[in-house]
Amino acid sequence: MDGTLAEKFIRLSRNAFAVALTCAFLGGGDALASSLGGDASFAGKPCPEVHGKDFDGAEIHIPARSRGKAEVVNFWGIRCGSCLEEMPKLDNIYRKLRDRGLSVYGVNVDGAGADVLIGIMKKMSLSVSYRLLPDTDFTIMDAFRVTTTPLTLVIDDGGKVAYQHEGYAEGDEKEIESRIEKLLGAVK
């Protein structure tokens, strides 16, 4: 790693430690979610409207509210082992269902810019075909009250969160795919 990249990574690590320490002091994610205005669950509720730029600089609006479509928003971190395990599984789902109207957006929660994340992902041989967004100012994270990663939301064509899943264990992708399949089947 060059000096600039290493310095950014160290700074991000310190920030992540400070956030983790604050959450632990407050009693974990539930206490943090409560302090932000209540329940952190969005299942059954309208999806917060957010926008950002993907790694290529293209503007993305979530939710897109495209008739007959479904969206997945996945919050992930570069140092989150479960996130890194889940990403290829989500990519498989995306590749399988994109022609039926599925869009997947991976929102990175590390606060790093696209250039830093791309460099780290290359070194890790991590690649996905869905769109990735760096949330450098944490506005997307804040809108969704993210307190844990990975966090996966399935959004229907009306902009409502149809399903929310926190964490990842082998096999969780089957439930996520099933929920997406039901949405895509219901909106044909």
pLDDT at 65: 72
pLDDT at 40: 60
pLDDT digits (tens, 9 = 90+) for 98-124: 999 999 999 999 999 999 999 999 999
Burial grade of 104 (CB within 10 A; 0-12, 13-18, 19 or more)? buried
pLDDT at 44: 84
* DSSP assigned state of 36: T
pLDDT at 135: 96
Cα 22 from Cα 29, distance rounded (Å): 10
pLDDT digits (tens, 9 = 90+) for 122-173: 999 999 999 999 999 999 999 999 999 999 999 998 899 999 999 999 999 9
* DSSP assigned state of 77: -
CA 84 to mean position of chain CA atoms:
12
Q: What is the CATH number of domain 39-186?
A: 3.40.30.10
pLDDT digits (tens, 9 = 90+) for 20-76: 433 444 344 443 333 333 346 778 888 999 999 999 999 999 988 777 789 999 999
Look at the block and give the residue holding tokens 């992540």. Answer: 16
Domain residue spans of the chain: 39-186
pLDDT digits (tens, 9 = 90+) for 67-85: 778 999 999 999 999 999 9
Share of the chain above pLDDT 90, in %: 66
Segment (H or E) for 86: helix 81-97
Does the pLDDT of residue 174 top 90, yes or no? yes
